[in-house]
């Protein structure tokens, strides 16, 4: 969430296009383990979760100049499992997947 203040609000929120979820994410949704709508809201608001500074910079650049926007979120506080969200450059599709499914 630290990087959110660096982003020009005029570019947020951005379009997700069609959202697709991997099989692993679908299973976790069905089990009530993750709330994809909440993660997508964070993603489009500029809260890109646990990405590093370089990826944060790339996301900021992509908002203005075009490019893929990527977020990474911890699945559970004490877990090493991660959910990745990637919105493609053309903003026509957003993929939600578990890190090990990449």
Looking at residue 29, its pLDDT comes to: 93
4-21 pLDDT, tens digit each:
444 555 667 899 999 999
- The C-alpha atoms of residue 59 and residue 65 are separated, in whole angstroms, by 10
Tokens of 30: 């069905």
* SS percent in the chain: helix, strand, coil, step 5: 40, 25, 35
Length in residues, the chain: 102
31-80 pLDDT, tens digit each:
998 999 999 999 999 999 999 999 999 999 999 899 999 999 998 766 67
Tokens of 96: 């939600």
Phi, psi dihedrals of residue 48, rounded to the nearest 5°: -95, 20
Name the one residue in this structure whose structure tokens are 């559970």.
76
pTM of the full structure: 0.86
Looking at residue 97, its pLDDT comes to: 96
């Amino acid at each position: 969430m630290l990087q959110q203040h660096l982003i020009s609000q005029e570019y947020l929120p951005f379009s997700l296009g069609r959202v697709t979820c991997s099989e692993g994410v679908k299973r976790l949704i069905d089990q009530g383990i993750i709330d994809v709508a909440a993660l997508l809201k964070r993603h489009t608001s500029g809260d890109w979760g646990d990405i590093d500074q370089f990826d944060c910079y790339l996301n900021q650049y992509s908002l203005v100049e075009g490019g893929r926007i990527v977020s990474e979120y911890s699945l559970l506080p004490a877990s090493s499992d991660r959910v990745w969200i990637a919105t493609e450059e053309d903003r026509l599709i957003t993929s939600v997947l578990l890190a090990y499914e990449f």
